[in-house]
Amino acid sequence: MDIVVTETGYPSAGDQNGKNIPSAANQIIALTSILSDYGSDVTILSTYNDYWKSPGQYGIEQSFGAINLF
């Protein structure tokens, strides 16, 4: 059975949450690893940063834009 991940990503900015440290460098590492393992069976969230959203608890919700990685 094939599994398709419908939404994943990593924030480029925000507050640290445990061992998760949002940064542009860590976003590249995370998304490169995800794409290497899953290829076209994954949808990356999101193309652009979503400044219309509330920043959320750790200040990350606006910072999932990944257009600069492609």
Catalytic residues: 7
- Say how far apart CA 30 and CA 24 lie, in whole Å: 10
Q: Is 53 helix (H, G, I), strand (E, B) or coil?
A: coil
* Residue whose tokens read 């690893």: 33
Torsions phi, psi of 7, nearest 5? -165, 125
Q: Is 59 helix (H, G, I), strand (E, B) or coil?
A: coil
